[in-house]
A and B are shown apart, each in its own frame.
Chain A
Amino acid sequence: MPDSDTLAYDDRPADSVGLVTPHVVKFDTPLPLACGKTLPEYELIYETYGTLNAERSNAVLICHALSGHHHAAGYHTAEDRKPGWWDAHIGPGKSIDTNRFFVVSLNNLGGCHGSTGPVSHNPDTGRQWGPDFPVVTVSDWVTSQARLADHLGIERWAAAVGGSLGGMQVLQWTITYPERVANAVVIAATPRLSAQNIAFNEVARQAIRSDPEFFDGWYAEHDTVPKRGLKLARMVGHITYLSEDAMGSKFGRDLRSDDLNFGFDVEFQVESYLRYQVDTFSTAFDANTYLLMTKALDYFDPAANCDGDLACALAPAQCPFLIVSFTTDWRFPPSRSRELVDALTRAGKSVSYANIESPHGHDAFLLPEPRYQALFSAFMGRVAREQHIDAAGAEETR
């Protein structure tokens, strides 16, 4: 039985999972992919928070979004400035309460944070996978996640939870493995990308692919990184994650200096912010991974197997759903979540839906907000009651 990664760490905030160490598991069973190719072997990196109970009934799967990874909560070292990407919602007493739940968070295949992806070694060629890494889909990810669940001895998730692209993985879980998901939380997601969403993704891909340092994806072999392309891609993405209001109230038309300088250097605060945001990203994130992740987004369309009828596509699902959207999210706006809700009600599924007032656009799903937290906690509290999960024993991990 896997142990909690939570270590004793005296300085941590009371509601942090504290110091965590990732695990890597290698799979030797080949994984057939939607594109027709097969991954002969692969590794997945993951973290866990909390303790798996004896019945193995308290496991919660966290699915990450476009640029996410396995490090969802806590700190890797005592010196880390920032916790994991969803620390606002995972921890003792938080929405996903690690006193009750055993939380599993992984980096998806094709990622660049430790799971097999373009930066990994290709056993067939002896070089890096690079652009040869097959295009993976949300379905492929879910299959690989199911194998991770098998490895951890988890027959059924108490809940599968994800925001944005993560929410799409949760949806896919309820379709592919309905008997293995007891509850589904789908936040700021969409049942399929709109033409505008795909267009933004294409701009991002073109930015990367037209960078002279891209070398058709073989930049590593030229000892370089298509930094400029990746920066542009991230800039475009970042704009779609924020709302007009959030940008307006954060920066307005504020200038960095007092006067206009009639040039093309950074003048407005918003320009400076965007450049700063993407600087670290362009060296920390792999360009081929970015291309793969945007493709996985574009291809996701479960209704396509049912002549566009989403209710029919969701027919296999058995679990209760919580669907959440945010008022100022224009990347995956409330109307897209509502589409999903309407399909679920048409299919007679158990579903609740809330549209949370937030000024933060798509990024709101990552942030703490009182109503969001109250709702999320209420749902997870019911999951715990329904699965007969209590907080007993959890105190021992503290």
Chain B
Amino acid sequence: MRTDLELIYDWVPQGAHVLDLACGDGILLERLAQEKGVTGYGLEIDPDGITQCVARGVNVIEHNLDDGLGSFCDNSYDQVIMPQALQALRRPDKMLDEMLRVAEEGIITFPNFAYWRHRIHLGLRGYMPVSKSLPHAWYDTPNIHLSTFNDFEHLCKEKGLVIVDRAVGVGDHKGHWTSKWWPNLFGEIAIFRVRRRP
């Protein structure tokens, strides 16, 4: 499983009812169901991902996240998870509101644009960064709202959200001590657990 998914896995409590936005091939939901008794649904837009979920027996609903979560009731889930989709949404801020309308807690992961390798790409070489976490060229990337640890924390502050947990993914490993102390520079993947202020 991808590093960020491993971290999310740890943060989902036993028996939780979750909504997984952009659930991909359903591997996370499958493991959560089998090993932690987690229930819920994945939302996905990619046809192959949907077929793989169905083959695994993971509940998946074809859904464009840019349409919001209007069909899901307030507080109907324990957690809403959104791995690696924030940066591809038309309005990431509105989605954050939606996630925390549907559940009390949200887990979000996204590529950190301020990662040192990205900075070298842009700052020294003068090119838009292309990396493992940002594999696309500037002209065909689905990632239209790139942000950093600092940006996301700032948005949470503006919205009055509580950051319960923050983790860092670098390459295939969970964060090194450098990325723990200076995530905005050494963290490749940002992973946040946020809550509504009580």
- Bound-state CA distance A375–B52 (Å) is 8
Given A345-B41, A346-B73, A378 contacting B62 (CB threshold 8 A): no
Please state if A375 and B51 are interface contacts (CB–CB under 8 Å).
Answer: yes
Contact for B51 among A338, A346, A351, A378, CB less than 8 A = A378
* Stretch of A23-31, A44-52, A144-152, A379-387 on the interface side: A379-387
Please state if B57 and A351 are interface contacts (CB–CB under 8 Å).
Answer: no
Contact for A381 among B55, B60, B71, CB less than 8 A = B55
Q: Mark each residue of chain B from 49 to 78: 1 if its CB lies under 8 Å from any CB of chain A, else 0.
A: 011111111111110000000011100100
The residue among B51, B54, B59 with the most chain A CB atoms within 10 A of its own CB is B54
| Residues in A neighbouring B41, C-beta threshold 8 A | 345, 351
> A-B contact count, CB below 8 Å?
54
- Bound-state CA distance A379–B59 (Å) is 11
Chain A's closest residue to B26 (CB) is: A352
Chain B min CB distance to A316 (Å): 19
Query: How many residues in B have their beta carbons less than 8 Å from beta carbons of A?
Result: 20
Contact for A355 among B62, B72, B73, CB less than 8 A = B62
Please state if A352 and B54 are interface contacts (CB–CB under 8 Å).
Answer: yes
| Residues in B neighbouring A7, C-beta threshold 8 A | none
Say yes or no: is A374 at the interface (Cβ < 8 Å to chain B).
Answer: yes
| Residues in A neighbouring B76, C-beta threshold 8 A | 346
- Bound-state CA distance A169–B138 (Å) is 50
Q: Mark each residue of chain B from 61 to 102: 1 if its CB lies under 8 Å from any CB of chain A, else 0.
A: 110000000011100100000000000000000000000000
Say yes or no: is A313 at the interface (Cβ < 8 Å to chain B).
Answer: no
Chain A min CB distance to B132 (Å): 29
Say yes or no: is B13 at the interface (Cβ < 8 Å to chain A).
Answer: no
| Residues in B neighbouring A346, C-beta threshold 8 A | 73, 76
Contact for A378 among B55, B61, B71, CB less than 8 A = B55
Say yes or no: is A65 at the interface (Cβ < 8 Å to chain B).
Answer: no
Given A375-B51, A381-B55, A352 contacting B60 (CB threshold 8 A): yes
- Bound-state CA distance A322–B56 (Å) is 13
Contact for A352 among B47, B53, B72, B73, CB less than 8 A = B53
A-B contacts, 27 listed (Cβ < 8 Å): A320-B57, A320-B59, A322-B54, A341-B61, A345-B61, A345-B72, A346-B73, A348-B39, A350-B59, A351-B61, A352-B54, A352-B58, A352-B59, A354-B47, A354-B51, A355-B62, A371-B47, A371-B51, A375-B47, A375-B51, A375-B54, A378-B52, A378-B54, A379-B54, A382-B54, A382-B55, A382-B56
Binding site for A on B (CB under 8 A): 39, 41, 47, 50-62, 71-73, 76
Complex A-B, nearest 10 residue pairs according to Cβ-Cβ distance, in ascending order: A378-B55, A342-B71, A378-B54, A353-B61, A354-B62, A352-B60, A355-B62, A375-B51, A378-B51, A374-B51
